[in-house]
Structure 1
């Protein structure tokens, strides 16, 4: 059997099941292939012969049915080939499926190879020469979308959120960003880790009324006393489960959480490397996003006390019901649903088009059936070409994201507390 390689960008497990089913159904002397083929050829032959007799034109029998059906059956459906499915996003080894009709394998393989080559060429000329930035390695725009959406991550636990808001206001904003104690404002703005900065520059005579997450008891604690408690609470919010839900919210799927979390870390690290950020750990970025959103909400709470409008009202609407973790992620999905799921839909549509073989096979053996087969092949070529357009979007998105990330600040740069504080206070 001839071997054909089909490249896919995500959804490899779905396509494997579809092709595996086709391989079983179209095996020689199967319960579908043989009887359905015989039935379709019989009906087609009777139909074509009847039309030829009544019109007195034997050419109708030959040209509209016999030769096209004979060619399609003998050369495209009867011969079988081996298909190797290669998912460029999962980075796993190609999977082999036997007994695939050569007509399906050939056209799907050729079109996917052409799309794959065009994607490589576009990335080579539109992106810097860094293999790690390829959409074939980090997914179509998944890495860039993840970085762009990290800023929306919020603290789940309402008690931790309240404590974090007070902590940031009393131990970070007031002494350093607003008060500029010891001239540390610029250093605070450049810090890539808010808590680490506070630990290294512990403010004296500052503290908060801390609410215990277990007993709900409220007690006054200095910044030095409360910092390890806040740090532990934030770290508790960060785990592979959080990464898994975040990955699902931007359209990245996997049945195994540990693989999904590892892949998401790798993708975002590639993107952050391209953006030339010093910190490339997604856990660190998510930790800072939680703290910054708590900081934003604390600032808005202060504005409300003076009857001023909130600058970030979405932070309240997203958390109207505290403790509902999924609510924060539903906001991410609702706003970007179409853009996020398009790469996944490519694999789904490809699988649906391939499944049409069960209808196309008998229909193509009827008079005029070659037009149905031609339309089906056109659909296969069209769907496999989507990856080229996604690559263009990926490249443009990476270029745009890099442009927005340009800043004279270091640390987390434009998404950091430094840039936020500058915009907020000036």
Structure 2
């Protein structure tokens, strides 16, 4: 699989130096490094535990207000410590993005496979969405979004092939850039001129859903009391409500049904009223949801971490924005580029439980971490975890083509339906030199093993 350069490559605004020249931008002043040249045993213990949870994340990026510059820094290093009072924790004033970095593998002179770089998936569209999210919050940025994007690329290069390997196999890395309100006075409304934090973490995370779900399908639950009542303004914490409650219910449902539950679906703020036959606003938490009749009126909005669509025959249907979904880049790509390439028709429309009763319609989940995965079992439950409906769904031919085709495109087995899918980064001698330079700035904190 060769390097494929995409159409949305982020470049530095000021200059086009190589990474080995640019790396010095990310190194703290020597006098600051000397203050923390020896990690404590607690630091190393925390670092080891961190790397177990986030493999290969030996360095992270942050804009350091203390130093007035962007830095690459070991996660447990004192220069990466946040203050005690961080208002965004309480008020959800944080936006983020999810990105994938897929390995590029080529054979060496001896015919052995080696990782020579990676492809960032839908980098341009996701950085554009991050910019919209920032504008929604009116964050005061200490550096430009273009240079923030360049830092994403540079951190991936520095972490190198270890970032794209798990148990000796090439595998995906996950990239999490985040921007949020920094230390300031208490209160929901930050004071004028408040600091904005900008951070990036990248680590090896091969699969969001278990690997077998991409061939066998996933099991999902839609709870009737989990609805998208309000518009989604940005990719932010508010989009992921009641996660601990969903996790609690997941354990109950798995024990009750004897199957793994892979995802939760949210419902739209309106339904097809079975009594009037009209689409009306509804709050399911105020209704008796113990019977199938009301469940049949529910309309699906999205997944907890991805968009959704149906596929029946040669037609893909995806929800309107009025269901209060985020607007997913993977769904947008599938609709705008994959579907025409496959000769599949697309249409905006609502769908609910009754659309799957014929046994001829598939349900897809589409997202950055999830990629594209089909649903094999759709369960509707109420807030008491009582099952109201339970359907086995087919994975029709076109649905499977979307699942397999997207995987083939992101891994470079076939050309992308559009160049914006892949933005390539290369690991070369200059990358190695840059890595050695940054690692040598933190002796005792990081190593090249």
Using structure 1 for the length normalisation, give the TM-score.
0.24
Higher helix share: 1
User: Structure 1 or 2: larger strand share?
Assistant: 2
TM-score, normalised via structure 2 length: 0.23
Ranked by relative contact order (alpha carbons within 8 Å, sequence separation 6 or more), the top structure is 1
- Larger of the two Rg values belongs to structure: 1
